[in-house]
Amino acid sequence: MSKEYIKELIEMGDDALNVELENVPVGHFRNLLKIALKEQDRDTRHACAEAVVQIGLDSTAICEISDRNWVDKAHFACMNVKAV
């Protein structure tokens, strides 16, 4: 189950969702949701790490690691990242 499909399910009307899931066992559906959430968590962690790396590559943001400005920028990058 892809993230795109889960997004479609979330956006479906109630009747369409009932039809879509009528033959899917509840346990199987829950397992698929858990897998999708783990995948999203992984994607978010990777996007966050990439955002922090980009801070170091940005010539205007080069700071000493002990510099509070660097910590603030890293925190901002992690809190505002959007996983693709």
Whether residue 65 is contained in a domain is answered as yes
Closest C-alpha among 35, 50, 38 to residue 80: 50
Q: What pLDDT shows up at residue 69?
A: 76
Residue 12 DSSP one-character state:
S
Domain interval for residue 15? 3-79
pTM, whole model, 2 decimals?
Answer: 0.55
Q: What pLDDT shows up at residue 65?
A: 56
Indicate left, alpha or beta for 12 from its phi (over 0: left) and psi (-120 to 50: alpha).
beta
- Output the tens digit of pLDDT for each of the chain's 84 residues: 667 787 888 888 989 988 888 888 888 888 888 888 888 888 888 888 888 777 766 655 555 555 667 778 778 878 877 665
Whether residue 84 is contained in a domain is answered as no
Q: What is the number of domains present in the chain?
A: 1
Whether residue 19 is contained in a domain is answered as yes
Q: What pLDDT shows up at residue 1?
A: 60
Q: What pLDDT shows up at residue 58?
A: 63
Closest C-alpha among 50, 55, 47, 35 to residue 83: 47
